[in-house]
Structure 1
């Protein structure tokens, strides 16, 4: 099964993509041992070093584990701490890309989505459509959290500061995605931000309708300068949120498939029913 010579991606990425697809579709089951390096090298018609690079990519993504003297195995757990960036970049290789985000500021998404958008501008990726929806808390209404440390009271000054941060990150994502459509680099490109009346205690990403990333926001004390004074706040620390991944599989009634489906339904219920256009 030789690789496609016309594929512009490096051979190790092509091998990693093929193995990843087999793992996520359960052709390679959790706990199953992968073929040996020489077997994979012969199967894909590549050098052993190329196979080693591909395995390293999958190991970094948390999909496989190496056991000394035994080989490489598909990871047993389907819910695991992961990094968003490589999965998001892979999602943009599909013809139709959708990213739904619910969380506090969109800062992580802003950083993770930059590279695939740059690849589209450079002509290295060419999806037919991109849809990005961002659901963030409404800064115009009082919040239960974040709150002032001394009395757990809402802070209008903190909400105003947070609104600026949210505008900066979500605005950059919206502008970058919509620009791709305006330039004709993507046939259909749309990004939109809406505000929810509730502050989420977690962040959620639904990617291409079949992959979900979920992580809780730790609540920690954070001294913030508000109106020229240091103000202790109980804040939601998004950078400390550990993401867990869930992939829908061929069985629509499996735990993973149901998790993805319910995440999509939850997002749609807020987006369609109570979310409003975002404004500071």
Structure 2
């Protein structure tokens, strides 16, 4: 499809939406290679930088993976969050929607929220209120992960401020978190601004603990828990492929617990998960402005 000249959204947003729709509807199958950047540039009549921005956003959402020298491919396991998306959509059928998330960046949560938010915009879902709390590590400060594999790469010194500051694995992780939390905040709060729901709130807090798992609690009734696998991963840092120790959150297997499941201790699990989240939120969490400037990331 071509871009809509009357659409007020930037071209890269339109391209992102078109490719995302093709992936989620399986027009582009898991493992399939996307058209090359040159092909996309010609197809949509935009600059290469515009196409690269769209592909970066899709990669941040976990829908595609870039392979050095080969191009971008649909993630083989994009179907992994489907169960979470289904339960989140079900949570949005209630009048008061609450979602508590603790993890590394919130990019999987952002992907899972896309469909129910679209259904609210089209009038197919009508909750009265939405309250989302996001608890993530403060990646402006040293963390155990992500970290360069090679010791020499760690000796980068203090990163200067500003847009031209040298990128590090930590600042890259911070950027992913910012993109995810900004997208969630913008999409949810827009629903209230448009008069589609009465109240919409997204709160983000950061803390000093490197997460080893992710946790979602929906409407204080359903909980999803998954361990973060730690592995070596090659990612673009400061414009070059860099091998780092990373958490593979998009590949985390989620275990589900329900408040009504007495036989499997689901009620106890949800209750304790909520207590743990609230304790970390209240005692270690610091309010974070997702629209603030990218602060200095301390060198490890």
TM-score (norm 2): 0.62
Matches within 5 A, 1:47-58: none
Q: Distance in 2 between matches of 1:153 and 1:268?
A: 34
Alignment of 1:213 onto 2:219:
no
Equivalent in 161, 178, 185 of residue 189 of structure 2: 178
Which residue matches 1:201?
212
Q: Distance in 2 between matches of 1:250 and 1:150?
A: 47
Instruction: Report SS of the residue matched to 1:134.
Output: strand
Runs of 4+ off more than 6 Å: none
Which residue matches 1:141?
141
Equivalent in 217, 223, 242 of residue 231 of structure 1: 242
Q: Distance in 1 between matches of 2:105 and 2:261?
A: 33
1:124-155 Cα shifts (integer Å, max 9, x gaps): 11111110111111012101122222349698
Which residue matches 2:252?
241
Unaligned runs of 5+ in 2: 1-80, 160-167, 295-300
Which of 142-151 and 131-140 deviates more? Answer: 142-151
- The 8 Å contact of residues 146 and 173 in structure 2, kept in 1 or not, is answered as no
Which residue matches 2:277?
267
1:74-132 Cα shifts (integer Å, max 9, x gaps): xxxxxxx9721111111100111101111111111111111111111111111111101
Number of equivalences: 199
Shift of the 179–82 alpha-carbon distance from structure 1 to 2, 3 Å rule, reads closer
Q: Distance in 2 between matches of 1:135 and 1:205?
A: 10
Q: Distance in 1 between matches of 2:240 and 2:115?
A: 38
* RMSD of Structure 2 on Structure 1 (CA): 2.2
The offset of 1:278, in angstroms, is 2.6
Shift of the 228–275 alpha-carbon distance from structure 1 to 2, 3 Å rule, reads same
TM-score (norm 1): 0.66
**Which of these two proteins has the greater Rg computed from alpha carbons?**
1
